[in-house]
């Protein structure tokens, strides 16, 4: 291990990496890896809690569950990576400031830009890695997790026959067990065979027995001891309603029931490669071209259909050259003048019917256009979002590093609180922008990059304040400012309340004086 470390150090020195750079890299990479692992684990536990009902009780092996969690954790990278970058940068610079190392470096003539230069290089590496993860890893993860989840959903739960009630979990059979002893031997067994769909015409009763499933989970074996089988051997007809009862005693009997979908079967190929989330930029660009063509064709078709078929009674209504005679013969002063009330009622009913028809047609056209416009919007948004993860990591770095240098607090206390606040802001804006863009309320570009547009000025402002050695976010000064603000607020509230009370007293005295004359 020591030889590997020495080899790495020697390689970095050949590249011109200085001792300060090595120290900064070591200070950042440790917290970054740890925070990324912790955040991913926390989000994965929430992911597991969300789908725990689909995993429990189906006899899944450890390999299947581990694979499900692995692909699920890959889909959480867009949330874990920016948060890890933000928290690690705040912790790194905060620890340097809290331990007076940052002050010592500045006193030695090293500028803040030189101090965070190696961290900026690491941030660029994270940005590039985030892009490849968003474009290559996450689509595969979505394809795998969707397919695996469907395979798990199709797997039926394990057979667990309770005591004292009828169990109908096995298709075509209804089984009741009266008791179960310590040796897992069943007693007082009743089995109704409904496979022929002829009612309760086949009943087996046994004193005891055992149930077992074949190793491949394709068969359910019932071993019975000392029982009787009752079976009606003929069918009812229109002319013959008599039934023959067959009664067979046995000391030992075995019933084999075939099972389907009780054994987990994993699909070899992903069936969700056509989903938007499971595609990379090349596939999304190709889909965008085809969807744009389909959307333009649909829009032109429905526009022409609406103009020439529904909204305008004559195709030449918009032709002013042909409508001159109609305009001359039209007398505006005679509008809304009816010969009889019946003519007015008929005209209003005709207009009402026409408006209803136009309303229905408008809804129909919107629904038809939506079928091509919505997939196109989703495709464009998802193509833009391949870049938003990288931009989020870069912006969070330039938010976290200045905040850590200004606040000068390390550890997981203050940095964690600040990181959560900024990440919640980013998450709310990002989700809201995506939803609005999917609904067509804003453009796909704005919906995908709205979080970047909101946070980028903040990152630039914080970086500028940090380079100016600002103490805007000094906790002691900030706490005093908050305290003074509330003190002034309370004092103004008390003065206002005192003034209102005095006005009320004076008004009551004036009313008394008026009553007394």
Q: Where do the domains of the chain lie?
A: 166-258
pLDDT computed for residue 6 by the predictor? 60
Measuring CA to CA, which residue among 403, 477, 419 is closest to residue 95? 403
Q: Output the pTM of the full model.
A: 0.66
d(CA 218, CA 36): 43
Q: Hey, what are 313's tokens?
A: 């009674």
Pairing of β 219-232 and β 245-258? antiparallel
How far, CA to CA in Å, does 78 sit from each of 82, 140, 387, 437? Answer: 7, 14, 11, 19
Measuring CA to CA, which residue among 406, 408, 490 is closest to residue 100? 408
DSSP state of 156: P
pLDDT computed for residue 400 by the predictor? 83
Q: Are 115 and 24 in contact (CB under 8 A)?
A: yes
pLDDT computed for residue 473 by the predictor? 47
DSSP state of 277: G
The greatest distance separating any two alpha carbons of the chain, rounded to the nearest whole angstrom, comes to 115
Ordered per-residue pLDDT tens for the chain, 517 residues: 556 556 555 655 555 556 777 777 787 888 888 888 888 888 888 878 877 777 776 667 778 788 888 888 888 888 888 888 888 888 888 777 777 777 777 777 777 777 778 888 888 888 898 899 888 888 888 888 888 877 777 677 677 778 888 887 777 788 888 888 877 788 888 888 887 777 777 888 888 888 887 777 777 888 888 888 888 766 655 555 566 777 888 888 888 877 776 666 667 766 777 788 888 888 888 888 888 888 888 778 777 776 666 555 555 555 555 555 555 555 656 666 777 778 777 877 887 877 787 777 777 777 777 777 888 888 888 888 888 888 888 888 888 888 887 777 766 667 777 778 888 888 888 888 888 888 888 888 988 888 888 888 888 888 887 776 654 445 455 445 545 655 666 666 667 776 777 777 777 777 777 776 5
pLDDT computed for residue 40 by the predictor? 86
pLDDT computed for residue 498 by the predictor? 67
pLDDT computed for residue 243 by the predictor? 67
Q: CB under 8 Å to 372, separation ≥6 — which residues?
A: 291, 294, 295, 298, 299
d(CA 328, CA 197): 80
3-state secondary structure 78-147: HHHHHHHHHHHHHHHHHHHHHCCHHHHHHHCCCCHHHHCHHHHHHHHHHHHHHHHHHHHHHHHHHHHHHH
pLDDT computed for residue 209 by the predictor? 85
Q: CB under 8 Å to 263, separation ≥6 — which residues?
A: 155, 216, 217, 218
Q: Is the dihedral of CA 97, 101, 103, 106 positive or negative?
A: negative
pLDDT computed for residue 358 by the predictor? 74
Q: Are 432 and 441 in contact (CB under 8 A)?
A: no
């Amino acid at each position: 291990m020591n030889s590997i470390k020495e080899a790495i150090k020697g390689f970095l020195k050949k590249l011109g990496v200085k001792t300060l750079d090595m120290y900064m890299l070591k200070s950042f990479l440790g917290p970054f890896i740890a925070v990324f692992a912790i955040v991913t684990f926390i989000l994965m536990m929430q992911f597991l809690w969300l789908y725990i009902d689909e995993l429990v009780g189906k006899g899944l092996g450890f390999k299947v569950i581990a694979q499900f969690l692995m692909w699920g954790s890959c889909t959480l990278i867009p949330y874990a990576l920016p948060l890890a970058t933000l928290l690690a940068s705040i912790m790194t610079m905060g620890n340097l400031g809290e331990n007076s190392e940052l002050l010592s470096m500045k006193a030695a003539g090293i500028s803040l830009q030189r101090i965070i230069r190696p961290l900026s290089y690491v941030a660029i590496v994270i940005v590039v890695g985030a892009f490849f993860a968003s474009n290559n890893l996450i689509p595969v993860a979505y394809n795998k997790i969707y397919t695996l989840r469907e395979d798990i959903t199709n797997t039926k739960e394990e057979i667990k026959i309770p005591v004292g009630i009828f169990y109908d979990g096995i298709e075509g059979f209804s089984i009741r067990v009266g008791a179960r002893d310590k040796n897992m031997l069943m007693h007082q067994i009743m089995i109704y065979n409904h496979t022929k769909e002829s009612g309760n015409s086949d009943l087996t009763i046994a004193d005891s027995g055992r149930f077992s499933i074949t190793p491949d989970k394709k068969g359910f074996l019932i071993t019975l001891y000392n029982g009787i089988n009752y079976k009606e051997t003929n069918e009812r007809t229109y002319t013959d309603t008599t039934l023959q009862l067959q009664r067979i005693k046995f000391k030992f009997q075995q019933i084999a029931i075939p099972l389907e979908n009780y054994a987990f079967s994993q699909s070899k190929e992903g069936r969700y490669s056509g989903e938007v989330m499971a595609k990379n930029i090349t596939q999304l660009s190709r889909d965008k071209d085809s969807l744009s063509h389909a959307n333009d064709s649909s829009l032109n078709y429905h526009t022409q259909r609406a103009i020439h078929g529904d909204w305008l009674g004559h195709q030449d209504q918009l032709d002013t050259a042909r409508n001159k005679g109609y305009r001359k013969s039209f007398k505006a002063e005679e509008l809304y003048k009816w010969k009889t009330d019946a003519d007015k009622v008929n005209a209003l009913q005709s207009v009402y019917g026409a408006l209803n028809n136009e309303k229905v047609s408008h809804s129909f056209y919107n629904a038809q256009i939506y079928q091509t416009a919505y997939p196109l919007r989703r495709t464009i948004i998802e193509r833009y979002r391949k870049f938003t993860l990288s931009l989020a990591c870069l912006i969070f770095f330039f938010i976290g590093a200045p905040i850590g240098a200004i606040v000068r607090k390390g550890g997981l206390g203050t940095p964690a609180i600040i990181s959560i606040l900024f990440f919640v802001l980013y998450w709310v804006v990002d989700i809201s922008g995506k939803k609005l863009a999917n609904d067509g309320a804003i453009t796909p570009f704005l919906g995908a990059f709205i979080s970047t547009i909101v946070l980028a000025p903040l990152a630039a402002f914080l970086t500028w304040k940090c380079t100016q050695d600002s103490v805007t976010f000094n906790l002691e000064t900030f706490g005093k400012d908050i305290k003074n603000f509330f003190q002034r607020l309370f004092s103004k509230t008390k003065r206002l309340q005192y003034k209102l009370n005095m006005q009320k007293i004076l008004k009551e005295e004036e009313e008394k004086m008026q009553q007394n004359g």
